[in-house]
Structure 1
Amino acid sequence: MAESIFSLTDKVVAITGGYGYLGKAICEGLVEFGARVYVLGRSQEKFEAAFDKPGNLRFQPCDVADSESIRAAFGEIINLEGHLDVLINNAFYSKGQHPEKITDEEWAFGIDGSLNSVYRCIREIIPHFKAQNHGKIINVSSMYGLVSPDFKIYEEAPQSLNPPHYGAAKAAVVQLTKYYACYLGPHNIQVNAVTPGPFPSKTVQQNEAFVNQLKAKNPLGRIGKPEDLKGAFVLLSSSASDYITGHNLVVDGGWTAW
């Protein structure tokens, strides 16, 4: 029983942004527990580069900026599998960074990429989840949806500073999660969020001084490794979370606890 409660055998998962730095580890964790995972994205080449031996990982063309593309992707998965159990909204896109110089167009583009794209995916999956009377939605937020960047740390790496529209959108993702958890609860649909903390990319990690400051600030004294996220997504995708909804699971090594 202790093992089966986290089993994802026969579960079908769709994840946007699944071949990126963190998405890759999330996908691998789900497959390790038995899920069949469809990675939604625009580049099959990037998918194939990320996963040498896909196994239960499959690429599904999808552009989260386009409602029709999202609708078609979900429909194709359900036609193939007969059901879709979990949707993970992990993809985002953005441009513009300097807090004083972001243009109106850049601001709108960033909000669309981090918030509106999540809403579009939720909206398009609702009819399918309602029809089968179950489903799980997991939205990915960020520690910068909860706290401001430590600007002193980012003096070491100004190019890595999270822009204001990103944090604002990620904060809204948490609220969107709570809203749909309450709205969809009567249909046996759980909606939760995962908020990663300091998980700098491999490129950013080349700046040792910056990474050392991240480590020093964090209670656990280290940055996150992609595999640190596996457990959170397995939990929220499995029957172990059937009575968890509207929750924001923070995986940040204690960053936001200060």
Structure 2
Amino acid sequence: MKSLQELFSLENKVAFISGASGHLGSAISESLAECGANVVLAGRNQENNKRLAEKLANQFGVICLPVYLDISSRDSITNCVELALKEFEKVDILINNASYGSTGKIESMSDKDWEIGIDGTINQTFRLTNSILPYMVTQGSGNIINISSMYGVVSPNPEIYGDSGQNNPPNYGVGKAAIIQFTKYIACHYGKEGIRANCLSPGPFPKPEVLENGEFINQLACKNPLGRVGRPEELKGAIAYLASDASSFVTGHNLSVDGGWTAW
């Protein structure tokens, strides 16, 4: 029987993280590196990728590969996956964290704007999974963690957002909800191939510039059972759990890390 330390160890594992050096991606990447995984830090901001790679390599003694990735581009995904496989020869853990979107209301949103939000959530999750899953099938093992959102579970409450400009558009939640279902589909269809798939749905984790809006942050805090918003580092434990053998019998699950937001 493995000890808890052994269960949470990711030594000799290779993790591929999209949006790796972003607001939440940095904490996710740090969690995996701290557990001993070598990491592919993929995202559009290559300078941030490089800085994070240097930091994690120095701090945890793991191999970090910073790679430019545009998740809207199939060619960019193909190139990024090829670079990762050339460096490490395998991918054990895939974290679909990156996303992009558009703004607007249902009555005024164009078809193009709607499609941008869907493309930046579920479609890009499909593209990257579609590119890496065959290698996991070949190696007979793999662990896919898709990042959804509390708004893939519940709708934004318009009373909270008022005129703050922070309200989520309709296509964001639709795409994030689709990610949860896609995760369950992967779990059910590829479990016998030795592949697990789970979803993590963060709650309110405002970016630094949003934290400056004290009135809005107070509105978020008052809505939450824990009475506050989240800090990115509070995702580290959940990611370490889902990525490691500590969750070896968990698949097809959506883990909400939201301070109780979706419990109302």
TM-score for both structures, normalised by structure 1: 0.95
Q: Which residue of 2 aligns with 1:43?
A: 45
Q: Structure 2 stretches of 5 or more lacking a match?
A: none
User: Do 1:96 and 1:103's aligned partners in 2 also have CA atoms closer than 8 Å?
Assistant: no
Q: Does 1:189 align with 2:189?
A: no
User: 1:47 Cα deviation (Å)?
Assistant: 2.0
Q: Which residue of 2 aligns with 1:103?
A: 110
| Other structure's SS at 1:79 match | helix
- Amino acid of the structure 2 residue aligned with 1:91: A
| Other structure's SS at 1:191 match | strand
Q: Which residue of 2 aligns with 1:89?
A: 96
User: 1:42 Cα deviation (Å)?
Assistant: 2.4
Alpha-carbon distance in 1 for matches of 2:190, 2:110: 36
User: Do 1:11 and 1:85's aligned partners in 2 also have CA atoms closer than 8 Å?
Assistant: yes
User: Do 2:30 and 2:56's aligned partners in 1 also have CA atoms closer than 8 Å?
Assistant: no
Q: How many residues align?
A: 257
Percent of residue pairs identical: 46
Deviations 1:64-101 (A, max 9, x none): 11223222322221221122100000001112233432
Q: Which moved more, 1:67-76 or 1:46-55?
A: 46-55
Deviations 1:75-133 (A, max 9, x none): 22122112210000000111223343221111111100111000011111111001100
Q: Which residue of 2 aligns with 1:80?
A: 87
TM-score for both structures, normalised by structure 2: 0.93
User: 1:17 Cα deviation (Å)?
Assistant: 0.5
Q: Does 1:219 align with 2:225?
A: yes
Q: Structure 1 stretches of 5 or more lacking a match?
A: none
User: 1:50 Cα deviation (Å)?
Assistant: 5.1
User: Do 1:129 and 1:189's aligned partners in 2 also have CA atoms closer than 8 Å?
Assistant: yes
Deviations 1:16-62 (A, max 9, x none): 01111111111111111111111111221232455662413321122
Q: Does 1:204 align with 2:224?
A: no
Q: Does 1:119 align with 2:126?
A: yes
Alpha-carbon distance in 1 for matches of 2:8, 2:40: 19
Q: Which moved more, 1:40-49 or 1:82-91?
A: 40-49
Alpha-carbon distance in 2 for matches of 1:79, 1:214: 44
User: Do 2:49 and 2:67's aligned partners in 1 also have CA atoms closer than 8 Å?
Assistant: no
